[in-house]
Structure 1
Amino acid sequence: MTINYLEGLSLAGLEGEDMFHSIVEKSNDIILITDDEYVIKYINGSVRRKLGTRPEEALGKSLFEFINPEKQNSLRDFVNRRDNSKESKLTEICLLAKKGGTLYFDVTISNLLKNEEVGGLVITLHDITDRKIAEEKLRKANNELDQFIYKTSHDLRAPLLSALGLVELARQDPEKEKHDYLGMIRKSLLKLDHFIEDINSFYRNEKLAIRNERIDFEEIIKEELDQLTNFYNADHVAVTYNINRISDLYSDSVRVKTILTNVISNAFKYSDKGKQESYLKINIQVTPDECNIKVEDNGIGIRQQYLNYIFDIFYRADENAKGSGLGLYIVKDTVDKLGGQIRVQSEYGKGTSFTISIPNFLNTEVHARAFSLN
């Protein structure tokens, strides 16, 4: 069947149909011929390499059986609009690979139905998946940059303007009032400092190479708890932590600290002051392969409808939410950079738990794989 459809298709300067057939079969493009009902009469071996489908599996089937359902109608409209000339036309479709995943193709259709030697539609599918992925990354980066510039300019100016206004009031009011104003100014400037630190964390995670060093959890946790407890006046939160390891963890200390700082500060920030006993539990388990961190609190929790959005950049569940809106985005981005995973469970009014898994770079091969992801 293949030879019948390729007979007579020759190129100037090439001798014999075997050479032409070899070129078609070795092409990186999927090349196929259908009749006027789009039933596949010939398809080259690239379909196996790209989609995992053997050519013989596709013969005699409709082209539309392999098209993503969302794209079928648009492709039908495209091919139905063709005229009777031999002129090629171009569109874009996506196909589902046999082992899962979607690939994107530019499609060229040449109408050779009236050609006695071909008698069909010659369709070429050119793989543009890498280009589509790059375009999506660029689109995401541009969108985040737009948000980042807007939010940064707004959130940097707000505490500065607040502090400046308080300074002016303090200059005009009696001496006994000045202490109160100084406290409010300090609060505004601390808010500004935390936002700038969020920006620094964001930059470090995006730009700095992943380091491989021994992680001292005791030192990191004690330092962070001292700072965060004082900042949030969180003496009402009972904090316990447990570190269980059968191996040292080797990872990037700056990024591990960034993860812990943001998740722990979230627990303090959203603790439920209406509860008689507030708690924060930190459990860490380290094996030669990975590290699992669970941070659990009985704070105010997160409403179910917001859980899918909490890792979006600058997302806040409500207008009264505290912080820059960068914290959990940075956590997710940092975990991704380390090749790990993060999961969240929460019930509004009862509390929240974050479970984070990151690979242990104790094995140099694991570290090399993490580098290859970035």
Structure 2
Amino acid sequence: MNVEICATLSFIIYSRFMVEKADNNNTDLEKQKAQLVAFEQELNERTEELEAQKEELTAAIEELVKMNNYLNATLAELQERNQELDQLVYRASHDFKTPITSTLGIVHLLKMEPMSPMLKEYVHRIDLSMHQMNDLLKSLSLFTQASLEELFYERISIAALVENAKERLQYLEGFNKVQFKIEIDKDLTISTDAILLSEVLKALITNAIIFRDIEEPFVCVRASIVNDSLEISVEDNGEGMTTEVMQKAFAIFYRGSEKSKGTGLGLYMVKKITQRLGGQVHLQQLGKGLSVKIILPVHHP
């Protein structure tokens, strides 16, 4: 009897234990289910956010594509207009060349005739103006030519090119007062476009003469090979440049001094032509005066 009672009690206790365990399991399942529901809800919210971001990103990409297409079309139009302008300048410079050459010829004949000091001064001024105009047109022609045509590479003597550029400037006021110093090895040669490099040298030497020192004008041109590059520097002992002027010196039509009587194209064209030749140009203020250095590749592409 006692055995049966003990067995019955044991069964009852075990049953309650199992019921409680089942209840606990159900509670855990409910908790897990609630967690899964919350996770699913959070996942759905994140998915909706990502979809919204995707739509915004797609719209932004479409807008960027439209802007890029517009910019490409604008750039193509500007390049076309720029090429047309280059061709116009190139043709105009050739058209003006004939009357200027004729005027220079007439001035040369006038110089051979006896004339009063006043008339001689007038003729001298006309001669100077015509040479400046001729140089400007030639520079514009060469500049546009460099933009429109292929470069013509040939091996040239740097010393001879510098000497030639210098001799073409004898008409400049004060040329005969300047002490020139050319420090270039006669055997130094490079393969480049001689006409364009000559124009760069001429422009730099012109500036050095114009902004020369009044009492003891001095211009020094140096050239050497440094690290597989040709470095040419033109130095003077003139008034130099302020930091502000140096920052604007290569801007088109910029004239940073009252002595600037040109068009403001000199250093602008120097930079553009030097870049066309694959090089760089740098300005350096000296203790007195200015140094302009151009660096060109020894080997062209």
TM-score, normalising length: structure 1: 0.52
Q: In the TM superposition, what are the counterparts of 1:94-133 in structure 2 within 5 Å? A: 113=52, 121-123=56-58, 125=61, 132=71
The residue number in structure 1 matching 2:272 is 333
Does structure 2 conserve the Cα–Cα contact (< 8 Å) formed by 1:212 and 1:251?
yes
Take 1:325 and 1:184, find their aligned partners in 2: how far apart are those partners?
20
Compute the displacement of 1:244 (Å): 4.5
1:35-83 deviations in Å (ceiling 9; x for gaps):
75xxxx5xxxxxxxxxxxxxxxxxxxxxxxxxxxxxxxxxxxxxxxxxx
Alpha-carbon separation, structure 2, partners of 1:236 and 1:343: 27
What amino acid maps onto 1:342 in structure 2?
V
Give the match for residue 351 of structure 1: 289
Match of residue 265 from structure 1: 206
Any conservation in 1 of the 2:237–2:290 contact (CA below 8 Å)?
yes
- The Cα shift of 1:135 comes to 4.3
Structure with more of its chain in strand, by fraction: 1
**What amino acid sits opposite 2:291 in the alignment?**
S
> Equivalents in 2 of 1:214, 1:252: separation in Å?
9
Counterpart residue number, 1:285: 224
1:303 aligns with 2:242: yes
Shift, 1:337, TM fit? 0.6
1:210 deviates by 1.3
Q: Which amino acid aligns with 2:295?
A: S
Give the match for residue 181 of structure 1.
122
Could you tell me whether the CA contact under 8 Å between 1:237 and 1:279 is conserved in 2? yes
Question: CA offset at residue 328 of structure 1?
Answer: 0.9
Find the aligned partners of 2:225 and 2:244 in 1 and give their Cα distance: 33
Residue 228 of structure 1 aligns to a residue whose secondary structure is coil
Q: Normalized per residue, which structure has more helix?
A: 2
What amino acid does structure 1 have at the position aligned with 2:290?
A: T
RMSD of the alignment, in Å?
3.9
Q: Secondary structure at the match of 1:240?
A: strand
Structure 2 residue matching 1:232: 3-state secondary structure: coil
8 Å CA contact retained: 2:175, 2:209: yes
* TM-score computed with the length of structure 2 as normaliser: 0.63
Alpha-carbon deviations, 1:220-254, whole Å to 9, x = none? 12222222244333222211112259963111111
Deviations 1:12-31 (A, max 9, x none): xxxxxxxxxxxxxxxxxxxx
Q: Which runs of 5+ in 1 are unaligned?
A: 1-32, 42-111, 168-174, 362-366, 369-374
Provide the secondary structure at the position in 1 that maps to 2:247. Answer: helix
| CA distance 1:231–1:319, change in 2 (3 Å) | closer
The amino acid across from 1:333 in the alignment is K
Q: Distance in 1 between matches of 2:213 and 2:76?
A: 38
In 2: Cα distance, 1:35 partner to 1:342 partner:
57
Higher relative contact order (CA 8 A, sep 6+): 2
